Amino acid sequence: MVELIAVMAPIALVFTVFTLVLELLSVIFYTVQFVKKHHFISSPYFYIMTIYLVIHAITNLSYLISDPFDAASVPRQIDNVIQWYGYLIMGPLNVLLTVNRFTAVVFYQRFTRIWRLRHTILCIFVTLLFPFAIDGHAMLNIDCFLQTRNPGCAEEGMQMGVIQVYTQITCCVISIVLTVCSIIAARVNRVLYGSSVAVNLERRLLFQSSVSTFLFSFTIVWNYLYTVTHNNTEDNPTTNDEQWFVDLTACMGNVSLELLFGADALMLLLLSKSVRNTFFKFIFIDKLMKHIRRHKRTNSQVQNVQFQSKAQAITVIS
């Protein structure tokens, strides 16, 4: 059992670094496309998702930079604040993304007016203030807020953890309800039926949002299990099996969190042929991808010729 935890910790670190690289690439790519006013990427959903990825990338960078330092050092104290905000903002931003998809399906005729640029900016600004409204009182005890592992701050740390996880559960439930309603509405209203480019993109965005909601829910389940088991073992002696399960929930929560953001970034980059080609051109591998596609077409044509030749030979023999 101990060996399993020893293996999962490096895996979580690999996931963190990989997701960070993917997020930085995505953020730079989207920012460039925003400036160029790409006809599809310059949209509210991508604006929100870019901020979502930026915040998580900052939390990952902060963790990697501060991890070698002592728990009472300034870098670790700054990291505690960043992790606090990054974790609490995750749920509200995920809800905002699902609200965007819900309105795209249910209020499709008024969607453009609902998500005007100034409305989008206002929604994002209000959402970014949510962590302070939910758990801002934790800053009142600044010593415990900056040093969560201080032995004298165990009770405050537990309260903060409970508030955070139940906030995420609430956001998770709202996201699931909105996603299910969006899928049902898309089938009932037949909004996403058809073969036009715009309809295909909206359909894929709804699919990406649904996958994101599922992974978000999966992450919150592990975070909830960790909070419950960790708080139960905080003041009571634990067996090896109980401590192993606490460590397991912590590792699985970290891995699932990186999987969530990695999948979000990757699925949006590969969302459509137009976005894929623009991204490949951005990272200078568009010629390589064209060569690969050309090679696949050549192989397919050769296989078809060979199949036809065999078929003709069988016909002649018969």
Distance (Å) of CA 85 to CA 80, 139, 153, 230: 9, 12, 19, 21
H/E segment holding residue 42? none
202 and 83 co-located in one domain:
yes
240 and 188 co-located in one domain:
yes
137 and 250 co-located in one domain:
yes
62 and 96 co-located in one domain:
yes
248 and 304 co-located in one domain:
no
Q: What is the pLDDT of residue 1?
A: 47
8 and 106 co-located in one domain:
yes
253 and 310 co-located in one domain:
no
Q: What is the pLDDT of residue 286?
A: 57
Range of the domain at 146: 2-284
- Please state the domain count of the chain: 2
171 and 229 co-located in one domain:
yes
CATH of the domain at 160: 1.20.1070.10
Nearest to 215 by CA among 162, 175, 251, 260: 260
3-state secondary structure of 238: coil
316 and 198 co-located in one domain:
no
Nearest to 157 by CA among 171, 144, 170, 175: 144
Q: Global pTM? A: 0.82
Q: Can you list the pairs that 162-165 forms with residues at least 24 positions away whose Cβ atoms lie under 8 Å?
A: 162/227, 162/231, 163/134, 163/135, 163/138, 164/84, 164/87, 164/88, 164/135, 164/227, 165/220, 165/223, 165/224, 165/227
Cα-Cα-Cα-Cα torsion 245, 251, 254, 259, nearest 10 degrees, comes to -110
274 and 298 co-located in one domain:
no
23 and 166 co-located in one domain:
yes
pLDDT tens digits in sequence order for the chain, 318 residues long: 455 566 777 777 888 899 999 999 999 999 988 988 887 888 899 999 999 999 999 999 999 998 888 877 888 888 888 988 999 999 999 999 999 999 988 888 888 899 999 999 999 999 999 998 887 776 666 666 666 556 566 666 677 778 888 899 999 999 999 999 999 988 887 666 666 667 778 888 889 999 999 999 999 999 888 888 876 666 666 677 777 788 788 888 888 999 999 999 888 888 877 788 888 888 776 566 565 556 555 555 555 555 555 556 555 555
170 and 241 co-located in one domain:
yes
Residue matched to tokens 């460039």: 32
Q: How many CB atoms lie within 10 A of CB 198?
A: 9
DSSP string for 196-221: SHHHHHHHHHHHHHHHHHHHHHHHHH
